[in-house]
Every structure is written in structure tokens, then in C-alpha cells.
């Protein structure tokens, strides 16, 4: 009979392992309760914060005033049910019993030995007990107890419900993580606190307790005085009357000032160390809400110019630089910035490169570093459009062989601009004026979106004159990364425009913005 029961549990375990519906339900509740990146978790957190605060308010008000019956029922039934359901869900999610059964069964088959039911039960119970004795689970249990109104002492535990807020507020969790990072230093300092309180309290009791001080009745009073004095609070309800007791007071006051200064400096230094990480986490969370992000790698002279232009265009972008001073400067300029090494894949994965990053601009002053960044980005997502700054022509040629979308050689551009200025200075001034967007006139490119009014339309059928624009030409990209694009200057009237083409236009800023708006997909 026991063997049949065991076979039933094994079959049921395999059923759960193969059930897509079961895994989907469990994954949903895991995301709601534990996954901070899940888009609906914040609504659950807001709901739980409301439940906790409302229950605490009801129980505190009920101490002095009589609350309406419906509020009493709300706290007794609804709040209690929510807390119990949350506890049971976390208890369920903490470990997978069916996987333990499967692992034990497959291990017994592999080694050809019988299943030890005692060891299996012990493993299951131990895994669940690990959760039950954890601090968050204990707080959850204590938070449920005040609901049982018949036992009045449990109502004192209502304050423990406030500790549940730690689960649902990132800022409080961030504060606790800061303190956790300095756990060793804080434990050392609090040990010193306890040592000095014990020594000074004992000394005061010896000097003042022998009927010399009517306010000190026992050793606890002496320890209370020592704690109040060393914390520099000084209520004044207990004061030394003997010379020896006053000397102890002088010693403990000076010691307390020093220890409090040390504790303050430890906490402040920890926050200073974590401040950059917390700020970058905030930047990553903000960018996680955007669908198309441009990443600027390197905040040098070129990076600053590009960031300024992207800001004017209204493009969502983030600056990556391994130099703390450069990242701080970008942040000070009002840009989203992260101090990180762009040659490492972790930073791009945290920004969700597979779905959120559309363009990466490698603009550091080091060609080798730009090459490493380019290789890193392409290894993570080949569809990201990549532009690389490169001064070395040999490195530039190598980059072309690995399907880099755009390679910019600043020296070549500067040389061409210099030649234009030397030969046609007036034309150069006009061109520079349009590039810098002076007098509201600029050169810009407009991408043709699929299913827009320009998609599959003939060039001559679009009245660019009424749109107050001059089209210099159309840049058509290659069918693959290996195939170079083609620029068609002054297209013929029968030239068919296709989705993905870039129209190079000259006109007022408002006219170009109007065409970009009209060129969006109709779908």
C-alpha cells in the first residue's frame, strides 16, 4: 500500500513537471511576489502597502475609539485572508516538492537502490522549515496574529505589520542593504557600545548604589543611565551625586561622543559608496520603460556633441563611461549616465540589449576600446545598429569585415570640411549653418516607415515643395550587413521609395519635424 502511494506521488510529480499550465501559474505568482522587473509587481506592492497601512490604522484607532463594524470586519476577514494567502503562496514558491521527488526517484533508478522515504520526507520538511524560520516569514506570521481578537496580547503585535512594508518598498530595502554592507563595522561598534555600557553601569552602581543615590535602585537603573548618557540623550532623571560617579559620567560622555561619531562616519561612508550604484539602478529602471534606447559609449568631446544633438532631437539615450569623472559630468549635464565598462556584456544585458537598445555609438578616444565594445555589442545582438569612431584606417578596415554598420573617421571628415572651406568658403558657411541648425534651417534624414504614406510611393508623386522641403537624395541600405548602401542623388520622378530608405532633406526644423510625423506607420 505504501509502495502504491509512493508511485502515485511520483506520477503526480511528473505530471506537475510536464504541466505548462502549472508552471505558468507558479511563474506568475513568483513574478508578482518576487520579481522586481515584472511590470505588474508594482501594482501588487501598492496594494499590499495599502492593506498594511489600513490595518495598522484600524487597530491603532480601535484602542481608544470604537470603529464601525464594517471596518472591524474588513480587518478581521479581508486583511487576515490577504496575509494568510500571501504567506501560503510564499511557502509554496520557496521550494518545489515535486522536483525533490523526481530527483530522488531518478537517483534511485540510476544507482539501482530503493527510495528512502524517511530521507525524502526529511528533505521536504527541511526545505519548508528553512522558509518558516526565516525572518521575513516570521514577520508574516506575527502580522497575522493580531487578527485573533480573542487573545488580547496578540494585539500588541500589530506593530509588526509595519515591518511587512520592507518587502514592498525598494528605498527601505536599499537602506538595509547599505547597513548590511557595513555589518562587520557596525557589529564591532555596537559591541564597544555594549562593553562601555556594562563597565560604566557597573561602576556607577558600585559608587552610587549603596544608598548614596535614591534614583538608583538596582543594576538595571545603572545600565539605563549609562545607555542614556553614552547616547548623549541625557534625560536627567538619574544624575550622579558622588565624585566617583561624576568622574564616570565625564568618561562615558566623552566615549559616547566618539562612538557616535564613528557610527555616523561608517554609515555616511557606506551611503557614499552605494550612492552611485543606487543612482545607476534608478537610471536602468527608467530606461527599462523605454522601447528604443541609444547608448553613447564615451563622454569625451565627440560624445558631448552627440549627446547635445540627441537631446535636441528628443532621443532616449544613456551615456556609458568607465571614468567616474566623465559619468559624473554627464549626469551633471542632465543626461542619464552610468559608470561602467562598455567592453563587458553585463551592462548591456542590464539595459536589455535584445529588446530595448536600438543604436550603440562607440565614441571613446581609443580605437582598440571602440573595437572591443563593437564586438561585445554584436555578440549580444546583431540587429543593433552600431556606429564606431575610428582614427586608424587599418583598424577601420578590420571593423568593416565584421559587419559594423557605420565607421566614422573624424580626421577624414575634418579634412573634407577643410577642403570645402578652402575652396568654397561661402558654401562652407551655408553648410555649417544648416548642420548647426542656425536660422532654423538644417540638414536631416527622415526614415521611411513601413505602411506609411511614402512606402512604395513614387518620388514624383510626393509634393515636397508644398512640404517646404528640398530632398537632396535617398540613401538605400543594403539587403544584408555585408552589402553596402547606395545613395541616390536627386532621384528621378519614377523612383519608387521603399520602407527603410532615408530621405536626406534640407528645410526648416518645423518642416522636417512635420515630415517625420507624417512618415510614421499608418498602422
Kindly state whether residues 238 and 317 are assigned to the same domain: no
Question: In terms of pLDDT, which residue wins out, 245 or 521?
Answer: 245
Q: What confidence tier does 414 reach under pLDDT thresholds 50, 70, 90?
A: low
Residue 485's contacts (CB-CB under 8 Å, 6 or more residues apart) are 475, 476, 477, 478
Q: Which of 194-198, 276-280, 509-513 has the lowest mean pLDDT?
A: 276-280
Is the alpha carbon torsion for 451, 456, 461, 462 positive or negative? Answer: positive
Encode pLDDT of 461-492 as tens digits: 888 888 888 888 888 877 665 556 788 888 88
Kindly state whether residues 208 and 306 are assigned to the same domain: no
Residue 408's contacts (CB-CB under 8 Å, 6 or more residues apart) are 387, 388, 389, 390
What pairs with residue 296 in β-bridges? 319, 361
For the segment 329-344, the average pLDDT, to the nearest whole number, is 82
pLDDT value of residue 167: 66
Please report, for residues 313, 435, 448, the alpha-carbon distance to residue 512 in angstroms, rounded to integers and kept in the order given.
Answer: 11, 13, 13
- Assess whether pLDDT exceeds 80 at residue 291: no
pTM over 0.75: no
Question: By the 8 A CB rule, do 359 and 384 touch?
Answer: yes
Q: What confidence tier does 182 reach under pLDDT thresholds 50, 70, 90?
A: confident
Question: In terms of pLDDT, which residue wins out, 491 or 289?
Answer: 491
Among 275, 301, 319, where does a domain finish? 275
Residue 228's contacts (CB-CB under 8 Å, 6 or more residues apart) are 234, 235, 238
Residue bearing cell 560617579 = 245
Q: Which of 102-116, 175-189, 233-247, 309-323 has the lowest mean pLDDT?
A: 175-189
Kindly state whether residues 24 and 144 are assigned to the same domain: yes
* 120 domain-assigned: yes
pLDDT value of residue 213: 74
Residue 397 structural domain: 290-408
Among 110, 136, 168, where does a domain finish? 168
Q: What confidence tier does 1 reach under pLDDT thresholds 50, 70, 90?
A: very low
Encode pLDDT of 30-55 as tens digits: 888 888 777 788 888 888 888 888 88
What pairs with residue 318 in β-bridges? 295
Three-class SS of residue 291? coil
* 424 domain-assigned: no
Three-class SS of residue 520? coil
The rounded mean pLDDT for the chain is: 78
* 163 domain-assigned: yes
Question: By the 8 A CB rule, do 459 and 497 touch?
Answer: yes
- Assess whether pLDDT exceeds 50 at residue 510: yes
- Assess whether pLDDT exceeds 60 at residue 435: no
- CATH number, domain with residue 256: 1.10.287.70
- Assess whether pLDDT exceeds 60 at residue 2: no
Three-class SS of residue 354? coil
Encode pLDDT of 61-93 as tens digits: 776 777 788 887 887 788 888 888 988 999 998
pLDDT value of residue 230: 83
Residue 317 cell numbers, joined: 539615450
Amino acid at each position: 500500500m505504501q509502495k502504491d502511494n509512493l508511485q502515485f506521488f511520483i506520477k503526480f510529480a511528473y505530471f506537475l513537471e510536464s504541466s505548462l499550465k502549472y508552471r505558468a501559474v507558479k511563474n506568475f505568482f513568483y513574478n508578482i511576489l518576487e520579481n522586481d522587473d515584472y511590470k505588474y509587481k508594482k501594482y501588487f506592492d501598492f496594494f499590499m502597502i495599502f492593506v498594511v497601512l489600513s490595518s495598522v490604522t484600524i487597530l491603532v484607532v480601535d484602542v481608544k475609539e470604537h470603529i464601525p463594524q464594517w471596518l472591524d470586519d474588513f480587518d478581521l476577514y479581508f486583511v487576515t485572508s490577504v496575509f494568510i494567502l500571501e504567506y501560503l503562496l510564499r511557502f509554496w514558491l520557496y521550494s518545489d516538492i515535486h522536483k525533490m521527488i523526481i530527483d530522488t526517484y531518478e537517483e534511485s533508478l540510476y544507482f539501482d537502490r530503493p527510495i528512502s522515504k524517511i530521507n525524502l520526507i526529511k528533505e521536504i520538511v527541511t526545505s519548508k522549515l528553512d522558509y518558516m524560520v526565516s525572518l521575513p516569514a516570521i514577520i508574516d506570521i506575527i502580522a497575522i496574529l493580531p487578527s485573533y481578537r480573542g487573545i488580547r496580547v496578540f494585539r500588541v503585535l500589530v506593530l509588526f505589520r509595519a515591518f511587512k512594508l520592507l518587502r514592498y518598498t525598494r528605498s527601505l530595502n536599499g537602506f538595509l542593504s547599505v547597513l548590511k554592507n557595513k555589518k562587520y563595522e557596525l557589529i564591532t561598534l555596537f559591541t564597544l557600545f555594549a562593553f562601555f555600557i556594562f563597565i560604566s553601569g557597573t561602576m556607577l552602581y558600585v559608587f552610587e548604589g549603596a544608598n548614596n543615590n535614591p534614583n538608583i535602585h538596582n543594576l538595571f537603573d545603572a545600565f539605563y543611565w549609562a545607555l542614556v548618557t553614552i547616547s548623549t540623550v541625557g534625560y536627567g532623571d538619574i544624575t550622579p551625586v558622588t565624585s566617583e560617579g561624576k568622574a564616570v559620567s565625564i568618561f562615558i560622555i566623552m566615549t559616547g561622543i566618539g562612538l557616535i561619531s564613528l557610527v555616523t562616519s561608517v554609515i555616511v561612508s557606506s551611503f557614499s559608496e552605494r550612492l552611485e550604484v543606487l543612482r545607476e539602478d534608478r537610471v536602468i529602471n527608467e530606461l527599462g520603460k523605454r522601447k528604443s534606447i541609444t547608448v553613447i559609449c564615451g563622454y569625451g568631446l565627440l560624445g558631448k556633441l552627440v549627446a547635445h544633438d540627441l537631446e535636441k532631437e528628443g532621443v532616449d539615450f544613456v551615456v556609458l563611461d568607465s571614468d567616474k569623472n566623465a559619468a559624473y559630468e554627464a549626469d551633471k549635464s542632465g543626461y542619464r549616465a552610468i559608470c561602467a565598462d562598455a567592453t563587458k556584456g553585463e551592462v548591456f544585458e542590464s539595459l536589455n540589449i535584445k529588446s530595448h537598445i536600438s543604436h550603440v555609438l562607440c565614441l571613446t578616444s581609443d580605437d582598440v576600446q571602440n573595437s572591443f565594445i563593437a564586438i561585445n555589442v554584436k555578440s549580444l545582438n546583431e540587429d543593433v545598429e552600431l556606429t564606431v569612431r575610428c582614427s586608424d584606417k587599418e583598424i577601420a578596415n578590420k571593423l568593416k569585415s565584421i559587419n559594423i554598420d557605420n565607421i566614422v573617421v573624424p580626421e577624414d571628415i575634418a579634412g573634407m570640411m577643410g577642403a570645402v572651406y578652402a575652396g568654397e568658403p561661402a558654401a562652407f558657411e551655408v553648410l555649417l549653418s544648416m548642420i548647426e541648425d542656425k536660422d532654423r534651417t538644417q540638414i536631416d534624414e527622415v526614415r521611411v516607415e513601413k505602411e506609411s504614406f511614402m512606402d512604395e510611393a513614387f518620388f514624383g508623386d510626393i509634393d515636397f515643395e508644398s512640404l517646404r522641403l528640398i530632398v537632396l537624395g535617398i540613401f538605400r541600405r543594403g539587403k544584408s550587413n555585408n552589402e553596402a548602401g547606395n545613395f541616390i542623388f536627386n532621384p528621378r520622378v519614377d523612383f519608387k521609395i521603399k520602407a527603410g530608405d532615408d530621405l536626406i532633406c534640407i528645410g526648416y526644423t518645423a518642416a522636417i519635424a512635420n515630415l517625420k510625423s507624417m512618415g510614421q506607420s499608418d498602422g
